[in-house]
Amino acid sequence: MELSSKWKALAGLIALSVLAVLPFYLQERYSQYEVYLATKIVVWVLFAMSFNLVLGYGGMMSFGHAAFFGAAAYTCALLMVRGKWPGIPAYLVAPFVAALIGLIVGYFSVRITGAFYFATLTLSFSMLLYILVFKWRSFTFGDDGIQGIPVPDLISTQESYINCYFFALIVTLVCIYILWRIVNSPFGLILRTLREDPDRAAFIGVNVNRYRLVAFVISAFFSGIAGVLYMSLEASLAPDILFWSSSGEVILMGLVGGMHVFLGPAVGATIMVLLNSLLTSYTQNWGMFLGITLILIVLFFPEGVLGVLREKYLAVAKKRSL
Task: Give the interface with other proteins as residue ranges (CB under 8 A).
Answer: 181-182, 184-190, 192-193, 195-197, 199-208, 260
Which has the closest alpha carbon to 125: 144, 108, 143, 142?
108
Contacts for 109 with CB less than 8 Å, ≥ 6 apart: 60, 62, 118, 121, 122, 125, 216
Least spacing, CB of residue 111 vs other proteins, in Å: 12
> Cα 256 from chain centroid?
13
Which has the closest alpha carbon to 35: 238, 277, 253?
277
Residue 2 or 143 having the CB closest to other proteins = 2
Least spacing, CB of residue 181 vs other proteins, in Å: 5
Question: What's the N-to-C CA distance of the chain in angstroms?
Answer: 12
Query: What is the number of alpha carbons within 13 Å of residue 256 lying toward its C-beta?
Result: 26
Distance CA 243, CA 129 (A): 9
Which parts of the chain fold into alpha helices (H)? 5-29, 32-52, 66-81, 87-109, 115-135, 137-140, 162-183, 186-196, 198-202, 208-234, 244-257, 264-282, 286-300, 304-321
Least spacing, CB of residue 92 vs other proteins, in Å: 21
Least spacing, CB of residue 261 vs other proteins, in Å: 12
Residue 110 or 272 having the CB closest to other proteins = 110
Residue 9 or 274 having the CB closest to other proteins = 9
Least spacing, CB of residue 147 vs other proteins, in Å: 39
Residue 144 or 197 having the CB closest to other proteins = 197
Least spacing, CB of residue 114 vs other proteins, in Å: 17
| CB atoms inside a 10 Å sphere around CB 141 | 20
Distance CA 24, CA 314 (A): 36
Residue 195 or 244 having the CB closest to other proteins = 195
Residue 187 or 286 having the CB closest to other proteins = 187
